[in-house]
Every structure is written in structure tokens, then in C-alpha cells.
Structure 1
């Protein structure tokens, strides 16, 4: 998978009683990776928020393939699958070395004042047809 890469180290607080990463923490990892990717595109999310525009997760399709453990070094790989005027779909995989341990298809929307969908920022809309972000 080409696109954006984001490093994550598993902390003790990320694990459950069985010593593996608690399932909901993978969603935190991919959220951090998306925020880092958006920042890297030069999009100021605080300025968007001040303008009344925020990103919201509309849908997540997740597959848990293998467990991660305390002190594992992981990489979140993110790539754009599709872009519409107010919607962005990304594939995000969490890997330990070459092993894919988690995979998600995430649909994001831009929400404006009153909770209504609005157009994505131009930098994101311009990714239309650019697989790999």
C-alpha cells in the first residue's frame, strides 16, 4: 500500500487484561495517522473548525487480523480510495513489520454549521482519482 505512513509504539495503557492491544485502540491509531496526513497536506484543522467545518467519521469497516502487544512497533499505512465533493474514503492498514494486523476502510465527511454536509477542502477534493493520497 502506498501513501502516508505513521509510526505507533504500543504502550502498556493500550493493552487489555490479556496483554494485547484493546480493539478500540486501533481506531485511535488510525485517527492519529489521518490527522498527521491532513496536517502534512497543509490543511489547518483548527482554522477549518473556526470556519465551522469539521471532519466526521461516517463509517468504519474494520478487520482485526492478528494481535499487537506491549512495546510492538507498528506502522499505520493510509491511502485514498475515493473522493467525492463532501466524502473521502481511505484504506488504513496497521502493520507490524511486513505483517498486516488490522485493516479498515474509513468514510469521512465534512460537516458544516448545523451538522449539514459541506464540500471538502480543495486540497482533499483535488485527490480525486489519486490512489495512494
Structure 2
């Protein structure tokens, strides 16, 4: 089952035509990923503080199908498609009802903040991502 994150389109999310500005979909999916990981029990602040490990977006492949407009009620569905030692790939879809408006494959990597180098995702977190 994918993680479901509900949201509403506010005026600030739109352009002059009342259509969601394309870059705001990236903000929507970022919020959904953060809530998904939080609900898995991963405290990203503690992870950063205790280990120096953070997650960073490495790649986004996005498709825009239909526009969302002011006051729409949307959901972001997030699921993990793959995970390796140092990265994971998520499928995220922004929907209005059952209609997919936006879809993205997002590749995230673990980074060591002290060195800036890639790092291994802790096994317990990798297991959480793969079991959900």
C-alpha cells in the first residue's frame, strides 16, 4: 500500500491563471516523502545529529499529465520501488480523486554531511523502506 498524503491547493501554489505552478509539485512530493519517512519511525533530525547522515535527491523524472487548480483537494501517493545500500527510488503520484495529475520517480541517496560523500543507508532504515 502506498503512503497517502492529503493536501489542498492554496492560492500561493498557483500562477495567475489559478493553475498550480509546475515547480510546486516538487514541494508537494517533498512534503509527502518527509511525512512518509516520519510515519515509518525515522527521525531525520536525530539521524543527522547522531550520525551525520542525510538524504538528498539525486534524480527526478517527472511527468505532468493534467493541471491542478486553486482549491483542489489532492493526494500524494508514495511508494518505494527499490532500495540498495546507498540509495532508494520512490514512485510519487499527485492525484485528484483517481486521476493522476503528476508522476515522478525520485532517486534519493544517503550522504555523510562531514565528507559530502555517499554513505550507506543504515540497515534498519533500509528494512523499513522495503517492508512497507
- TM-score normalised by the shorter chain: which range applies? over 0.9
Q: Is the 1:41–1:123 Cα contact (8 Å) retained in structure 2?
A: no
Cα distance between partner residues in 2 of 1:81 and 1:30: 15
Q: TM-score, with normalisation over the residues of structure 1? A: 0.93
Q: Is the 1:84–1:128 Cα contact (8 Å) retained in structure 2?
A: no
CA-CA distance at 1:33 after TM superposition: 0.4
Cα distance between partner residues in 2 of 1:124 and 1:22: 33
CA-CA distance at 1:32 after TM superposition: 0.4
CA-CA distance at 1:127 after TM superposition: 5.0
Which stretches of structure 1, 4 residues or longer, exceed 6 Å deviation after superposition? none
1:35 maps to what in 2? 34
Name structure 1 gaps, 5 residues minimum: none
Q: TM-score, with normalisation over the residues of structure 2? A: 0.93
Report Cα offsets for 1:1-24 as digits up to 9, x if no partner. Answer: x31000010000000112100000
Distance 1:121 1:105, change over 3 A: same
Write the mapping of 1:1-133 to structure 2, written as runs, cut at 5 A.
2-50=1-49, 51-112=51-112, 113-127=114-128, 130=131, 133=132
Q: Is the 1:60–1:105 Cα contact (8 Å) retained in structure 2?
A: yes
Name structure 2 gaps, 5 residues minimum: none
